[in-house]
Structure 1
């Protein structure tokens, strides 16, 4: 291990600099809390970024950070990826958006249909939230039913029905065998709560029981094959089988939300874990760093969008849907996400997760690491969690994770707090080993704190 990280006197030089502080002061005059996204992290001031190159970010104070956020896992090729820059430059000289279709949208759709199983047809939208929204509407239009089922603690964007129980707590999540539908924000309509059946991840018996009980009213069950905010935990084969069996028996559509987890393999996460969905939502990596979302699925289900003979069962538009900039950027990015790129990311991910795991084991500290391929998440608990309720941190654990994020920043790495950390193709083996070294340095320099804090075991 690099000895620089073994000392408890590591200089705290990576907090927000003066330029970031000045920018935040300006921002507080125009934004409700000084930011334009609730997901912006601050300690206590956000780092304002000037530019990104490859796997690194440079803040407005001129400091460099290895980026493990990647704009919430979007930038699988890192920053300013040359093929994307070239494609965008070419397109900008020809126009940024049109009311008419372009050939680039056909090319990106052909790539997705040819690569992702069960994607016979595609519709493009602007965000992952929109993709989920229209996938659920499509399931309702196809089945004539209104209710949906979703996993407790899973994030699917900003649509009322999928926000139910997204942030459930011990105070409102209800019985472990029959989770309650918990409101996400004050004033969420009771009718929304009534239309959502909440399931626990990896509870095969419970999911079959709940889906069967509400079968006649359920249009769809939506699940992320490895929910990030639910812990980035691998699905059990018996859980996937139970979801599919109950859905098929009752005519419930299965929606795989792969907005984040499409990056798990060349063909996506569903293919990796044996899920056979009826609809797939996509976003993030398919846009090459620009806003995008997509709904794909079975040809018969996707016909609800068909307007060729009049008003469709489900009208869907959007001023910037399938805009040529997103299409060109996405096409360039996805063409370079070949089998070799995914193999490289798998190697890097294994180095990081195995290295972190060894450091934990060698020092006997009550932490663990989860994830797969290019994703990982560190938890303040000794045993690997099984679902969202086990991931939910005790106060001491949350404090410890904040200290971990701060230590990483002080040593030149942006590590997301309480979410998935992601690797990118420009990263090297040395970058992966650096991540492990910094984590090991945290353990060694905070040993007294780790021994004193009682986290979940």
Structure 2
């Protein structure tokens, strides 16, 4: 499937790839040794992958990153799906350079924030008004507070295993395990960190993704106390599996009939299409949280939604129902980068990403089918995720990695790295607009190479047991 010029390169890499050959370079090792003297575990983010040390990056260009030891990698992480235009996107670099000469932040508003808000209101359904914050976590945090202020209720419902940032209530059952997640029909609210208040656990109703009857029953049972249902239309940690139409319908009907607001968390999945993922799957939310791609590579978050719900932020006639500020909220740099990035995310750009995603997912699925191995691939648009399971998971419980499955995924990640590709471990892989058909073919060829390698054959045989 690869072009002739690219095929030789890929096959040469595959012939040299062996398990364990992904050891980071000496400069990365030295950097990690320094980092361990100033950070609790040598990093500033728990999501940093290390094997055994992290790969330290010196620069990025287009769809590639270069580590401090001079090695080039095709980047399928894209800073956790953020960089939809890849690294150092020229229009953003130029716009930021111009803005920096005019100032990086002010206590006053700028016209740039109006332009980005206008774009979002025009493009994303159900977004009549917008408030900007600095992260996806803040966006979700304030969306939940807005739902509470609007309804006068305090409890929320969320999906088991779904990630919505670092806010106690949405962290409930974020990392549930088989030994504590409870009954299939009534998931237990579990703590994500030691010391999480019991009162928080009592205020969160946990639902299983794609469990139609469970959603109807549990939402009806707790209806009088719920301010909102927080729903990522395709939770990455839940398997990156599409929602069943009947599940979306069940959540919407239950919410509407009981005065519960729906918060669509599109911080990650807004990249699924020009109008976002809620529109793609028929979800009609009251509030939408956004981040990642709308910042053009800079920190950002946004809460959008129905005009009447967003009025809880209105301070024009006195103290608002919900005060919301932030020293760097709507800062000119994030507004500038976000506006330029989103303007370049037009219909042809999304069509290109969709086509690439289909090539990768279809190619991986065909490689799996040809070899009859117990793996599968999920995802949509520019996202994909590989699972050590023959059956496509419906939710977090079915996607949960067993120790053997985790070992398979670790070896797969190592094999990709040995062949010059950064593949996120146990998470969504993301494509970017600078990528080409040749890049997509390389991804498929490297995956097939793993299945044909001695280590790949061993791991897949073991996981089948």
* 2:136 pairs with 1:128: yes
2:94 corresponding residue in structure 1: 86
Aligned residue in 1 for 2:154: 146
| CA drift at 1:451 | 4.8
Partner of residue 443, structure 1: 451
Q: Does 1:209 align with 2:217?
A: yes
Query: What's the C-alpha RMSD, in Å, of the aligned pairs?
Result: 1.2
CA distance in 1 between counterparts of 2:280 and 2:136 reads 21
1:439 and 1:4 map into 2 onto residues whose CA distance is 14
Q: Which runs of 5+ in 2 are unaligned?
A: 1-6
CA–CA separation in structure 2 for the residues paired with 1:95 and 1:421: 35
Q: Give the aligned length.
A: 456
* Counterpart residue number, 1:34: 42
Q: Secondary structure of 2:195's partner?
A: coil
CA displacement at 1:8 relative to structure 2: 7.8
Q: Aligned pair 1:16/2:24, yes or no?
A: yes
CA 278–290 in structure 1, closer or farther in 2 if over 3 Å, else same: same
Deviations 1:271-300 (A, max 9, x none): 000000000000000000000000000000
The answer on 1:420 being equivalent to 2:453 is no
Trace 1:23-422 onto structure 2 (pairs within 5 A). Answer: 23-422=31-430
Contact 1:394–1:455 (8 Å) recurs in 2? no
Give the structure-2-normalised TM-score. Answer: 0.97
Q: Distance in 2 between matches of 1:159 and 1:221?
A: 15
Q: Which residue in the other structure is 1:452 paired with? A: 461
Q: Give me the whole-angstrom Cα distance separating, in 1, the residues matched to 2:402 and 2:135.
A: 33
Offset of residue 301 of structure 1: 0.1
* Alpha-carbon distance, 1:455 to partner: 4.4
Give the C-alpha shift of residue 385 in structure 1: 0.8
CA distance in 1, matches of 2:335, 2:101: 15
Contiguous gaps of at least 5 residues in structure 1: none
1:130-188 deviations in Å (ceiling 9; x for gaps) = 00000000000000000000000000000000000000001110010000001111110
Please give the alpha-carbon distance, in whole angstroms, between the structure 1 residues aligned to 2:20 and 2:259: 57
Q: Structure 1 residues 341, 213: closer, same or farther in 2, change over 3 A?
A: same
Name the SS for the 1:370 alignment partner.
strand
Query: How many Å apart are 1:335 and its aligned residue?
Result: 0.2
Distance in 2 of aligned mates of 1:225 and 1:358: 26
Alpha-carbon distance in structure 1 between the residues aligned to 2:418 and 2:171: 34
Distance in 2, matches of 1:203 and 1:22, equals 48
Q: Is the 8 A contact 1:5 1:441 kept in 2?
A: no
Give the conservation status (yes or no) of the 8 Å contact 1:258–1:281. Answer: yes
Q: Answer yes or no: is the 8 Å Cα contact 2:99–2:336 preserved in 1.
A: yes
Closer/same/farther in 2, CA of residues 447 and 127 from structure 1, 3 Å limit = closer
1:448 CA drift (Å): 3.5
Give me the whole-angstrom Cα distance separating, in 1, the residues matched to 2:105 and 2:14.
53
Deviation at 1:394, TM superposition (A): 1.2
Which one is further off, 104-113 or 5-14?
5-14
Cα pair 1:148 1:219 within 8 Å, conserved = yes
Paired residues of 1:113 and 1:121 also in contact (CA < 8 A): yes
Please report how far the alpha carbon of residue 41 of structure 1 lies from its aligned counterpart in structure 2 after TM superposition.
0.2
- Cα displacement string for residues 327-348 of structure 1 (whole angstroms, at most 9, x for unaligned residues): 0000000000000000000000
**Structure 1 pair 451/115, CA: closer, same or farther in 2 (3 Å)?**
closer
In 2, Cα distance between the equivalents of 1:45 and 1:379? Answer: 24
Output one character per residue of 1:22-73: Cα deviation in whole Å (capped at 9) or x when no partner: 1000000000000000000000000000000000000000000000000000
